[in-house]
Structure formats: structure tokens, C-alpha cells
Chain A
Amino acid sequence: MIMPRGQQLLLPVSPLFMLLTLLAAFVLDMLQSMSWLGNAAWAPDWLALVLVFWAIHQPLKVGVGISFILGLLTDVHQTSLLGQHALSYTVQGYLATMIHRRILWFDVPSQALQVLPVFMAAQLLELSVRIAAGGLFPGWAFLLPPVLQALMWPVMTVLLLAPQRRAPDPDKHRPL
């Protein structure tokens, strides 16, 4: 991958790690809805965040198809309309794939600002689909999750890229 000057070269990504992070994000989404937030409209969608992250960093491995499948599973878990999250994840996967060549040339805060429209587009799509299907308007707090997800982008960059930033030649001073 072509990278901006002065950035650390990354190790190859482990597909197992990607799978585990996606699963962890799915479990985290379930945990926050089942245990403490209930159906609060402002709850951030961690799975959407991790999906967009991998679609931008590894567009050949995670993209529209995986987003669609995880969207369907989310629909079944949330008991929402079957296909609602599938549609919004598909669209955000496409948008992320579209911007992945450009976005990594910016510093991390600017990246966060640029993924915000992606999350917002997906959220607005979900809102319009549900209102059209006769759901009740959940309040303006429903527009908060994209902002929270964009704010979490730098944290995700540190966490999810950490295994790729390990030393290529570990010795006793740098065991990891």
C-alpha cells in the first residue's frame, strides 16, 4: 500500500484478528442493548464503526458483502425490519470503499471528520426507511450515534492497528 511519508510500515493484517474484532463489536452492541442501554436511540453502533474501519483499511477483505451479512444478523437480533441494517451497512460499506484511497493520506482527526458523513448517511437511510414503514420517530438523539462513532475513530485506529504496529523483529527488549 502506498502511504504518506514518515508513517510506520504496518505488518500484514491477520484475518483471524479481523474476524475477532467484528465478533467483539457485535457482542458489545448486544451487551450494551441487553444490559444497560435498552433501546436508547443514542447508543453508538460499534459494529458499524469496526466494519467501516476495516472497509477503509482492508478494502479487499471486508466490504459490501460482509457488511450485508452482519447487517442481516443485526436485524434479527434487534427484531427490526429484516433488511434495514443490511441496507444501511451495505451503503456505508460502499461509501467506505469509495473513500479508502484518499482518506488514509490525512491525519487521524481529519479522517474522523471524513467518516462522519458515511455514518450519518447510513443512519439517515435507516431513519427514512423505518419512518416510511410506519415506525415511530425515536427523537433527535437518533442522530447522535454517527457523531459518537466518528469521535471513537482515533481510539479504534490505535486499538485495531496495534497488532500491525508490533516490531517486525521482536527481541528481549521489545517482546511484542
Chain B
Amino acid sequence: MPLGSLDRSPPPFFKQGTSALTKLLFFSTLSCGLMFADLHYNIVQPARWALSLIVYPVQWLALRPVAIWDQLDDVFESKQDALNAVELSRKKLLEQSVRASQVEQLTLENNHLRRLLELRERYPTSAIAAEVLYEAADPFMRKMILNKGATHGVQNSSPVMDDQGILGQVTRVHPLVSEITLVTDREHSIPVLNTRTGARGVAFGESGGAPLLELRYMATNADIEDGDVLTTSGVDGVYPPGIPVAKVVKIERRADSVFARILCESLARVQGARHVMVLEPVKFSLPGFADLPLAPQPVVKGAK
């Protein structure tokens, strides 16, 4: 048997390095500290940035098979599928051209009315087109990763929408990618307006397993029906008003509760969205935003 074919180096007899128990204590304390800092302070963000730059090449590598598969899928798309798609887009174009012809007239009318009421002009918000890289693998929350980050000009807390409606909000910006929290996440809430009745409310992500929203704090006898469309109301200064958010799918009116339990389905594709728009938060484009205090000022008791 040739030399070197067996592990002949004797195990270290006295010097075993740091004991496993010491390492366990050190590293678990470190990770507990990191988790605490991540939850309560914003100081680990630079560490996350640095680590994300290490992870990014590996992610790029892992996304290659998916990209190749998509390309192959495109190549072998059947003729019938392509024809169907053309037919569908033609129909859509027709519908939209009818609406578009009305828009000019409405804009003109709107401008006149606004000037009449001496309201401010509505400020056009800028938008960045982005693509969803993947859904975050953390089963405890609902997030997605976009392929645009701080280097592309994505700002924290920007609203994100797809072609159907509001998808969520940017909650963490890395140099090359950014994370969005979906409207169906439990931690997420969005002020909405019922387009049929004009009633305002707040929709929260559903805390159960299903990807739904819950419209909370609506009275049991409130005027709301299945199929009502909820749009953003714009009172929060983040989401531009009038973008569709969700559709009411289930209303439970219970005798023992003051509030009805109203479940809504997100209009945006919270599962399987691909092309999205990152909008600028509304408040950034307001005139005099720089002069506004960022946080509400505490009221000093007794002061005049």
C-alpha cells in the first residue's frame, strides 16, 4: 500500500484547540447579540450589506439553471400559445384605447377643476422598473427580492406595484438587490379606500397561513360587499392614491364582535410576480417636504 493512502497524521494529543463548549458559548452569545441588535437597532445593516456582497455571486450561480430553463421554455413555446397571447393583448389594447381616449378629456377637466379649487397639482412620481429575483426562503414572513438596489436608486420604504396593483413596500435596500415586504405579510398594513362606498380603512396582512389581507376595524353593519375593490387612499404619504390593492372575498359578521372579519385577496400577484415597478414614496415629491419634521414632535405639557 503506497504511503499517503491512509490518514497517518496522529491526532493532536494534548493540544485540541479551543474546546467545543467554549466555541458554542462564544458563537451562540454572538448570534444572540446579533439577533437582538437586528430586532431593536439598525446597527447590523452594514454587516448585512457586506455579507450580501459575499452571498450575491453564489445566488447568481444558483439562478443560472432557472434562467437557462426559462430561455428554453421561451424557445419551445408553442405557436398556439403565441397566437393566444397576441389575441389577448389585442383585446386589452382595444379596451385601453377606449379608456385612453377618455383620459385626455378627463385630465383637461380635472386640471380646470383643480385650478378652480386651487388645489396643488398632482406630482408625477418617478418609477424604476425591476424584476423579481426570487421569493425569500424564510417561512416566517412573506418577502421578495428585486434585482435593483441602492446603486440603481431604490429608496427604503418605496411602494412596489405590478401591472395589477400594489405588491408591497421596500423594507431593506442592499447595494445590488432590495427586499420587499408583501402586502400579505403579517407585519404589513396599508390604508385603503373602498371604491364603491368611499369608506376608508386599513388592510393588514393575514396572520394565518393563506396569502390574504384582512380589512380590520370595520363595523359589523358597515356597507361592504363581496367583490368590493379596495384602492390605496394616499393618506399615509407613502402610497400614491388610487392604485388597486385588493378585492373583498369573504365577510364574516359575528354577533359577539363589534367588528366584522373581512378577508380580501390581493390583486397583485403576490405569488409569481415577475416584472414590477418601484415607485417613489409620495411624501418625497411633496413641495416643502424638506421643511417638514421627519417625526411627530412631542407635545410639551404645560407649554403654550
| Interface of A toward B, CB cutoff 8 Å | 1, 9-13, 23, 26-27, 29-31, 33-35, 38-41, 43, 60, 63-65, 68, 71-73, 76-84, 86-87, 90-91, 93-94, 97-98, 129-130, 133-136, 138-139, 142, 168-169
Contact = CB atoms under 8 A, between A and B. Distances in A.
B23 A40 contact: no
A39 B1 CA distance: 50
Given A11-B5, A27-B62, A81 B35 contact: yes
A83 B47 CA distance: 11
A68 B31 contact: yes
A168 B8 CA distance: 14
A60 B23 CA distance: 13
Contacts of A98: 20
A61 B181 CA distance: 39
Interface in B42-61: 44, 47-48, 51-52, 54-55, 58-59, 61
Given A78-B138, A83-B38, A68 B27 contact: yes
B6 interface: yes
B11 A60 contact: yes
10 contacts: A12-B4, A30-B58, A38-B271, A39-B135, A39-B139, A64-B23, A77-B58, A83-B33, A93-B24, A136-B207
Given A34-B62, A93-B24, A136-B141, 12 more contacts: A10-B7, A12-B4, A30-B58, A39-B138, A65-B23, A68-B31, A73-B51, A73-B54, A76-B51, A82-B35, A84-B35, A90-B23
A35 B28 contact: no
A23 to B, nearest CB: 7
B24 A76 contact: no
A1 B179 CA distance: 47
A34 B138 contact: no
Contacts of B54: 73
Contacts of B247: none
A13 B44 CA distance: 37
Contact of A139 (B33, B44, B172, B209): B209
Contacts, number: 156
Contacts of A76: 48, 51-52, 55
A94 B139 contact: no
Contacts of B145: 79
Interface in B254-304: 271
Interface size range of chain B in the complex: 35 or more
B235 to A, nearest CB: 26
B136 A65 contact: no
Contact of B24 (A35, A86, A94, A133): A94
Contacts of A90: 23-24, 27-28, 31
Please give me the 6 A-B residue pairs with the lowest Cβ-Cβ distance, nearest first.
Answer: A135-B140, A33-B137, A83-B34, A168-B5, A34-B134, A30-B62
Nearest to A142: B139
A23 B30 contact: no
Interface core residue of A1, A35, A60 (most chain B CB under 10 Å)? A35
B108 interface: no
A71 B30 CA distance: 12
A83 B62 CA distance: 23
Interface core residue of B52, B69, B134, B143 (most chain A CB under 10 Å)? B134
Interface in B220-250: none
B138 A83 contact: no
B29 to A, nearest CB: 10
